[in-house]
Amino acid sequence: MEESLSALELKTLIDQTYKIEEEYVSLRASYNHLQDTIEQVIEFLPNAIWIVEGDGTVFLENSQANTLSKLFETLRWDEQDYEVNFQERSYLIKSVHHNEKYLLSATDITDQKRKENLATMGQMAAHLSHEIRNPVGAIALLTSTLLKRVIPENRPIVTEIQKSLYRIERIIKATLMFSKGISVQKTSLRWKNIESELLGAIEYYSYSKEIIFEFPVDDFELDGDLDLLVMLFSNFIFNAIDAIELDENESGNIVLSHNKSASFHYFDIVDSGIAIVDKKGLFEAFKSTKERGNGLGLVLSREIARAHSGDIIFEDSNGEKKFSIVLS
């Protein structure tokens, strides 16, 4: 009877052992599934995530964190929220301590800070532009009066003053437009109206070399805002003039051509001036490699083109730089 009971107890013990083993396997599978889920979650997050042991060993990290291993080496775990600059980017760092592990995250806030800085710079520039506009207007009025009375030998001096004032007025206008935004008032236009305004603007722009300007021969109709389109095209023409002025040749040429499809007007502008150095920063506000540039010309030109349901495309191949302007 005792042997029979011992056999039963042994069987029960074996069954319980199997059951415990099954529960352990199930629990282990659940743990692995949970860990996989955690890994998938942190991989899905847009910021870099590190889970670190107390001794500094990385327990878990996502692919974003893997690309920022050098940044991880500079992080301070004792601070919860702070910003760091790393390889020309700005990151917001957050640190949390839980169960003898640290959770560290790095969020790229470069674009956000750039927008905040641009907004601040735009407000400051708009304020300065308002303050400058009145005295510049007064000087322009007095210069026009002076031009009528000055002796012929001094007329070129007064003319240069007027050209400098014209450049200041363009900067003021561009700055105020950047801070307020683009507002389009479309009307039916002829290309020759735009060309006439461009030729007048070129006369007020200072340059020393002999430059040949080629504009579309045909006159054609398009819908748009005259003032804005004149600003758009003049920005590219003035940039081309500046590029030619810096070129080693004593003369240059600027060609503005036109083609039309059923829905769009296509303008290409090519010049013989120097190449563009910083192609990445072309359309970045307040960033210019030119000595007399304010970094707003191309930014506003693109906004004007997009306000006319178009865009601007830059191409640089075989040593020739070309801007394509698309307008609806």
Collapsed DSSP state (helix, strand, coil) of residue 80: coil
At 294 the pLDDT is 59
> What's the domain range around 152?
111-181
Q: Are residues 193 and 246 in the same domain?
A: yes
In total, the chain counts a number of residues equal to: 328
At 203 the pLDDT is 85
Share of the chain above pLDDT 90, in %: 15
Q: Is the pLDDT of residue 221 over 50?
A: yes
Q: Is the pLDDT of residue 213 over 90?
A: yes
Q: Are residues 95 and 163 in the same domain?
A: no
Residue type, 145: T
Once rounded to an integer, what is the mean pLDDT over residues 116-121?
72
pLDDT tens-digit series, residues 125-148: 677 777 777 787 888 888 888 888
Once rounded to an integer, what is the mean pLDDT over residues 98-114?
83
DSSP state of 17: H
The most confident of 10-14, 140-144, 270-274, by mean pLDDT: 270-274
Please count the CA atoms within 13 angstroms of the CA of 187 that sit on its side-chain side.
10
Contact (CB, 8 A) for 239 and 202: no
Distance CA 219, CA 234 (A): 18
Last residue of a domain, one of 56, 74, 108: 108
Q: Are residues 119 and 250 in the same domain?
A: no
In the chain, % helix, strand, coil (3-state, to 5) comes to 50, 25, 25
- CATH number of the domain within which 126 lies: 1.10.287
Once rounded to an integer, what is the mean pLDDT over residues 234-248?
90
pLDDT tens-digit series, residues 146-187: 888 888 888 888 888 887 887 777 777 777 777 677 778 889
Q: Are residues 215 and 314 in the same domain?
A: yes
Q: Is the pLDDT of residue 30 over 60?
A: no
Residue type, 223: D
Last residue of a domain, one of 81, 108, 135: 108
Q: Are residues 213 and 322 in the same domain?
A: yes
Comparison of pLDDT for 320 and 255, the residue scoring more: 255
CA distances from 173 to 44, 53, 166, 328 (A): 45, 57, 10, 24
Q: Are residues 211 and 313 in the same domain?
A: yes
Contact (CB, 8 A) for 206 and 160: yes
- CATH number of the domain within which 307 lies: 3.30.565.10
How many domains in the chain? 4
Q: Is the pLDDT of residue 89 over 90?
A: no
Q: Are residues 287 and 231 in the same domain?
A: yes
Query: What sign does the dihedral 54-59-60-64 (CA atoms) show?
Result: positive
Q: Are residues 167 and 206 in the same domain?
A: no
Once rounded to an integer, what is the mean pLDDT over residues 70-86?
83
Q: Are residues 316 and 248 in the same domain?
A: yes
At 78 the pLDDT is 74
Last residue of a domain, one of 26, 44, 62: 44
Burial string for 162-198 (b: 16+ CB within 10 Å, else e) reads: beebbbbbbbbbbbebbbeeeeeeeeebebeebbebb
- CATH number of the domain within which 55 lies: 3.30.450.20
CA distances from 306 to 97, 102, 130, 184 (A): 48, 47, 27, 10
At 7 the pLDDT is 60
Q: Are residues 9 and 137 in the same domain?
A: no
At 1 the pLDDT is 44
DSSP state of 154: G
Q: What is the pTM of this model?
A: 0.59
